[in-house]
Copies of this chain bind each other. A is one copy, B any other.
Amino acid sequence: MNHVKWSKSEKKIAREAFEKAYERECSYLAGRIREKANQIKKPEEIWELRDFLTEKSKEVDEKYDYRYSVLDFVFARLIKDGWLEYADLEGLTEEKIEQVKSLLRFSESNSDG
């Protein structure tokens, strides 16, 4: 969406949706960390948790990229992963919503499962 314009109110909606997804994903992640931490019995499991955190941290860093030029891809992925709903994007132009839907359809048609 490189040349698409974002109004002030759309920017606010986008930012809120983005942050909501981030909060949801981090909250789920915190639950998994707690679970893993409470199950540590052997030293190796400490280092496994370290690896898990390092990996997840990279994944989250890459995924949550708030640049308007890539936001359609970001939103499509967040919807696909279940951290965002179309309802969170209400107020964006039809063009933007359609672009997100197209990306999701494309992704689904190319997925294995």
**A residues whose Cβ falls under 8 Å from a Cβ of B:** 22-23, 26, 29-30, 33-34, 36-38, 40, 42-43, 45-47, 49-50, 53-54, 57
**Are A34 and B33 in contact, CB atoms less than 8 angstroms apart?**
no
What residues of chain B lie closer than 8 Å to A36, measured between beta carbons? 37
Number of copies: 2
B57 contacts A53, C-beta separation under 8 Å: no
> Secondary structure at chain A's binding surface: helix, strand, loop or mixed?
helix
Q: Are A54 and B46 in contact (CB under 8 A)?
A: no
Q: How far is the CB of A31 from chain B (nearest CB, A)?
A: 9
CA distance A23 to B26 in the complex (A): 31
**Is the pair A43, B57 in contact by a Cβ cutoff of 8 Å?**
no
